[in-house]
Structure 1
C-alpha cells in the first residue's frame, strides 16, 4: 500500500508564512469602531458574543490600504502619539479587520440547561451549538467589572454555593455541574434559576446579584482580568469591588474620546511628513540645527520647506505652558480649544484657498447689526472643516467625562505610538455672545443661584462615583457654560427643522471660559448627511436672527410644563433644571456633556422671574 504523500506546510508569497484568514463574525462601520465597538467592548453577532481585541497586534494585522494613517498634530501632541489610524474598512477580498475574542466564555444550553464554558459543550468547528443537543448556545447574560476597567466572568459557582461551607473554595471542587433554567413566570431576575448537580446547595435565583455589595459579601474582589488582551495577558493586582452588569449594558464600556479641529497652519497637510520627527525638532533652537536634522531624517532634501517647518514650530510653542506652570493634559486641552476659538473668531477670509485646505471660515456678507438686539455677535460661516476624534482609552462603570487617568483602561498591553481615530469633514456655523451683556447677565443673583444648584448636584454626583474624592475633576458648570450649552441644543433642534438635517447628524462644540463665549454647531457624521451646504447657509445674519428668535420662542413652552420649568432638579444626578426630552435634550451623539447641565430657564426665564433669561427681552410677556 502506497503511503500518502507528506503534508506540505502552506506558505505565502516568497515562502513566508501565510496571512491569517480568520472567519468573519459580522461587520461594523468605521465610526462604530471608535464610538460603540472599540477595543474592550462587547459586541453581539447573531446569537454569539465577542469582545474586541486590543491593539498590540493591530500594527501587523491592519492593512495599510484598508487602515491608512491620518495626522492631526495638535491632537497627537496632546495624546502623546505620532499619528492616528482609521479602523480597517474591509471588503470581500479582505483577509483581516478588527479582531475579536469570544467573551463571555460561560454559555448555557436552552435544551439540556447545562451552564459551562463554551469549549466544554464540544461544539463543531466554527459553530456555537451544544454538541449533544445541537441547539444554539446562549452566552452568559451577566458579567462582572470594576471601576479600574477590568472585566470578568460572573462567578456562578460561588453564587450557587454561597449558603454552604464550600462557598469560599475553588469553583468545581464539589464535583457537580452547573445548571441554568428560566421559569418564564416573569421577566425579572427571580425567574432565572441556577443550581448545581452536587446536591449540596439549593437552587437559587439571580435576584440580588446586582446589589452593590452582592459580590463583596461573597468575599470576591477583582482579579484584574483583561480578556480583550487574550490569555497571554497577565492579570493585574486590583482588589477593587466587583459589580454585576448585564452583558449589553452601556456601563460595560464607555469610550474616552478626544477631538480637535484642523486649523491653520496644520489644516492643509503640509506638516504630515514630519509626523514622526516632531520630538527631535522640538529640542532644536536654531534654524541651522533644524535644517541639519531634516537632512538627516529624510536622507536628503526635506519634503517640507524650512520656512514652513519654522512656522510650525513657532505655532506649536504658542500652546506651551506659561512660565513655571507644569504641563498637564487639562492645560493642553484648554490650549487646544483656545486656539480653535481664536481661529474661528478671526477666520481665514481669502480670495483663494489651497485645494488641500481643510478649514475655510468666512465672515457672512449680510448686515450683522440685526443680531445686536439678541446679544449675539461675530457669526462665522465655517464652509469647510475637518475634525479628528481619537479613541484614547475606555472606562467601565464610570462616566468617561468625569474619569481620571487612573480609571482609564489603555487600548493595548504595551504603549503604542498611535491611536485609532476617525475623521469628519463637514460644515458649521459659529457664533458668539456679546461679552458686555453676558457679563452683566451672569452676575445677577438669581442666575448665579440657579447655576450653583446645578453645579453642586453635578459635583456631588462626580464625588459619589469616584473612589478618591480628592481626585475628582471640578464640575464645568458656570452661567455662561450652561447658557451656551442650552442655546446650542435649541439651535440644533431648530436647524433640524429648518435646514433638513436630522438632529443626530449635528453636533455642538462649546467654547466657554472667562475669555471665551462661543458655540460651533457643525455636521457630525461622516455619511451623506455630512456636508450638503444647508447648514452653513443658516449662518447668514438674517437667517440666523430668525432661527434664534424661533428657537427661543419654542423653548418658551414645553409640553411637560409646568412640571418642567418649575422643576427643582432633573436629569442624571439632578444636574439639570428646566430640561427634558420634550424641549431641549438631544440625541447623545450631538451633545458634548451627555445631556446634563441644561436649563432653558436661562434662555427664556421663569414665570416667577422672567429676567433670569438671557433672551427674555425679545419675548412678549
Structure 2
C-alpha cells in the first residue's frame, strides 16, 4: 500500500507548541463517567478498546466551563478533599473531554492471524487496521488483573511456551511471531488456538486460562502495571496472584462510590466559597483566630459572616464520631448517615428558609395515626433534596462493598484535592418503623436464625473474594437491615406502578443500625423525573398506608413460587432467600447493595411460619 504523506508539525501563535487536539473516540453520558466508565475502566468504541486515563492531567485538560466545581462539605470532609468536579460534558466545539489510552495493546488480525502489539501492525494514523491486510484489528479478548487493582496484558508468550522446558526463559528469548486462529468447531476456549513461529512449542488452546492457578503455575505474579496512568509511570512489582479475565467482565472494574445528602446548615450553598479553607479553619478554636484567618484569606472581604462560619465549624465538629480516638473512614461515613437520619426526622420547613435551600423536609398534613396498625411511623415529605455521589476509587476482582484501603486503587498517581462526582436533585418520602414493634420482632428466634443464614453466606462470599480473609469487613446483614432493604424494594416496585415513575428513576437510602430504622425512597435522576412532585404526594399518611398494604399483599405471591419462597438460598453465593427478579429485585442503579440481602419472607412470613413476617397482621386486613 502507498504510505501516507508526511505530516507537517503544526505550531501555535509565535511558533509555540499547539494545544492538544486529540481525536474523538465516541461519547459517554456524564453520569457514566463515575458509574460505568470511570478512571481505570475499559470502554469499547466500535471495534477498538480503550482504558480511561487517570486524573493527573484532568485539572488542566478539563475545561472549567464544561466541568464545573461542585461542593458538598460533609462528603468532602469524609473523603478528605476540598471539592468535587462534574465530569466534562463535551459538545462538538469542545477541545477536550475524558482522555483514554489504547488498551489492551495486543491485537489480532482475523485475515493474517498475526497476534502482536497494535503498533507492530503499522496501522495508518488514526485507524486500527492491519497495515498489510487493511482489515479491522481485534483487541485481545483476555487481560490479567490482581486484587490490588493492577491490570496487564495476557502473557501469550508464556502461555504458548508453557509445555517446554524453562518455558518462561524460552519465551523471553523467542523471536517468533505469534499467531491466533479459531478452529470454528465450538465457541469454547478450546477452539481459540495460539502458536509461535519459532516451532519450539506446539499450538495450544486458551482452555484453562481462567483457572485461578493458571498463571501462578507459570510462575507469573503481578508486576504492578497501571496502564491508565501511562507508560511513563514507574511500576513496582506487586507480587499478588494474577487472574485472567475477559475484557468485558464486570469484575474487571467496580466503582467505589460514596454519597451524601445536602442537609442544613450546608444545604443553602452559602458556605461554598470556604471550600478550600476548612482544613485550616478547623485548626482554630477561638473566634478571634478564625476572624484573623478569614481577613487574611479573603483580604477583608469574606463572603460569609463570621457568625455563620462559627456555626458551620460547630456543626462539623458535632458530626465527628465520638466513640473512637482515631476514627476510621467507616466510622466517619457512618456518622454522616447518622446526621442525615436525625435531620430527616426533624425536618426542615421551606417557609423558614431562602429559595436557595436545597433540602426541604416537612411533616405530612394528614393524620399519621392511620399508619400505626402497619408498624410504620414518622413519615416525612422530602420536597427538595440534593445528593452528591463521588467516585472515591475503584477495585478489580473485589466486591466494592467489602473493600479496604489495600484493595482500592486511587484515581491518580499523586494525591488530588478533588474527586469526580455527580449531583442529582429530586424529591422523596422518608418513613420509619415502630421501634417497639420492631424490637419485639427482632427477638424472634426464627427471624434471627433466618437472617443468620444470609449473613453467614455473605460473610463466606466476602472471605472467598478477599486475598486476606483476616481483613474482610463484616457483613451488614441484621434482621432490621434486611427488613428495611426488602421493604424499600417493594415500595419502589409499588410506586413505579402507582405514581408512574420507572423503577430505575427511584433509589433507596437505608438507615439501619441499633438506633436507626428508616428508609428514604427518592428520585435520584438528573432529568425531569426528579421534579414532577408525584413521589411526594405518595407520602401522605392515607396514601402511604394504602401503598404499604398493597406492596405487602403483592409480596405475598411471586410467579416463581413455591420455588422462590421455599428456596434455601438464592442469588450469587446464596446471599438472598425469598427474592428473585419476578418479585423484589430492582435495577441495580436503584439498590444500595447490588440486589443482595433480600428476603420477602421477613415481610409476609412463609406458609409454614407466618409469624416470620413483620407485616403479618396486615395480611388479614
Deviations along 1:305-360, whole A, 9 cap, x unmatched? Answer: 00110010000000123266222101101110000000101111242531211111
Deviations along 1:153-196, whole A, 9 cap, x unmatched? Answer: 00111111110124121645222110011122211111111111
Match of 1:75 in 2: 75
- Shift in Å at residue 280 of structure 1? 0.9
Aligned ranges for residues 313-332 of structure 1 at < 5 Å?
313-322=313-322, 325-332=325-332
Aligned ranges for residues 117-516 of structure 1 at < 5 Å?
117-169=117-169, 171=171, 173-322=173-322, 325-516=325-516
- Shift in Å at residue 529 of structure 1? 2.5
Match of 2:105 in 1: 105
Does residue 570 (structure 1) correspond to residue 531 (structure 2)? The answer is no
Match of 1:3 in 2: none
Give the distance between the partners of 2:11 and 2:377, measured in 1 at CA: 67
> SS of the residue aligned with 2:237?
coil
| Aligned length, in residue pairs | 615
> SS of the residue aligned with 2:455?
helix
Give the distance between the partners of 2:265 and 2:12, measured in 1 at CA: 44
Match of 2:589 in 1: 589
- Shift in Å at residue 126 of structure 1? 0.2
Deviations along 1:472-530, whole A, 9 cap, x unmatched? Answer: 11111111000000000000111111111111111100000011000000112212323
Contact 2:73 2:266 in 1 (8 A): yes
Give the distance between the partners of 1:403 and 1:596, measured in 2 at CA: 16
Q: Give TM-score scaled by structure 2 length.
A: 0.97
> SS of the residue aligned with 1:302?
coil
Q: Relative to 1, partners in 2 of residues 1:55 and 1:620: Cα closer, same or farther, differing over 3 Å?
A: same
Give the distance between the partners of 1:365 and 1:185, measured in 2 at CA: 69
Give the distance between the partners of 2:214 and 2:405, measured in 1 at CA: 27
Give the distance between the partners of 1:71 and 1:17, measured in 2 at CA: 35
In structure 1, stretches of 5+ residues that fail to align are 1-6
Match of 2:94 in 1: 94
Contact 2:555 2:600 in 1 (8 A): yes
Moved over 6 A (4+): none
Q: Relative to 1, partners in 2 of residues 1:39 and 1:547: Cα closer, same or farther, differing over 3 Å?
A: same
Give the distance between the partners of 1:395 and 1:594, measured in 2 at CA: 15
- Shift in Å at residue 11 of structure 1? 4.9
Match of 1:528 in 2: 528
Deviations along 1:523-569, whole A, 9 cap, x unmatched? Answer: 12212323211111111111111111111011000111111111111
Q: Relative to 1, partners in 2 of residues 1:320 and 1:193: Cα closer, same or farther, differing over 3 Å?
A: same
Deviations along 1:372-413, whole A, 9 cap, x unmatched? Answer: 100000111111100000000000000000111100000000
Deviations along 1:561-582, whole A, 9 cap, x unmatched? Answer: 1111111111122111111111
> SS of the residue aligned with 1:163?
coil
Deviations along 1:215-249, whole A, 9 cap, x unmatched? Answer: 11111110000000001111122111100000000
In structure 2, stretches of 5+ residues that fail to align are 1-6
Aligned ranges for residues 50-65 of structure 1 at < 5 Å?
50-65=50-65
Match of 1:115 in 2: 115
Give the distance between the partners of 2:13 and 2:361, measured in 1 at CA: 50
Match of 1:600 in 2: 600
Q: Give TM-score scaled by structure 1 length.
A: 0.97
Give the distance between the partners of 1:351 and 1:524, measured in 2 at CA: 24
Q: Relative to 1, partners in 2 of residues 1:156 and 1:324: Cα closer, same or farther, differing over 3 Å?
A: closer
Q: Relative to 1, partners in 2 of residues 1:605 and 1:13: Cα closer, same or farther, differing over 3 Å?
A: farther
Deviates more, 1:495-504 or 1:120-129: 495-504
Give the distance between the partners of 1:8 and 1:142, measured in 2 at CA: 38
Q: Relative to 1, partners in 2 of residues 1:350 and 1:174: Cα closer, same or farther, differing over 3 Å?
A: closer
> SS of the residue aligned with 1:351?
helix
Does residue 85 (structure 1) correspond to residue 77 (structure 2)? The answer is no
- Shift in Å at residue 467 of structure 1? 1.8
Give the distance between the partners of 2:324 and 2:46, measured in 1 at CA: 56
- Shift in Å at residue 9 of structure 1? 7.3
Give the distance between the partners of 1:604 and 1:209, measured in 2 at CA: 46
Give the distance between the partners of 1:396 and 1:565, measured in 2 at CA: 34
> SS of the residue aligned with 2:65?
coil
Give the distance between the partners of 2:457 and 2:325, measured in 1 at CA: 31
Deviates more, 1:33-42 or 1:348-357: 348-357
Contact 2:350 2:361 in 1 (8 A): no
Match of 2:4 in 1: none
Deviations along 1:123-153, whole A, 9 cap, x unmatched? Answer: 0000000000000000000000000000000
Q: Relative to 1, partners in 2 of residues 1:337 and 1:441: Cα closer, same or farther, differing over 3 Å?
A: same
> SS of the residue aligned with 2:476?
coil
Contact 2:110 2:137 in 1 (8 A): yes
Contact 2:161 2:170 in 1 (8 A): no
Q: Relative to 1, partners in 2 of residues 1:13 and 1:351: Cα closer, same or farther, differing over 3 Å?
A: farther
Contact 2:129 2:136 in 1 (8 A): yes
Give the distance between the partners of 2:329 and 2:561, measured in 1 at CA: 42
Q: Relative to 1, partners in 2 of residues 1:324 and 1:250: Cα closer, same or farther, differing over 3 Å?
A: closer
Deviates more, 1:581-590 or 1:159-168: 159-168
- Shift in Å at residue 414 of structure 1? 0.5
- Shift in Å at residue 198 of structure 1? 1.2
> SS of the residue aligned with 1:437?
helix
Deviates more, 1:346-355 or 1:404-413: 346-355
Q: Relative to 1, partners in 2 of residues 1:594 and 1:165: Cα closer, same or farther, differing over 3 Å?
A: same
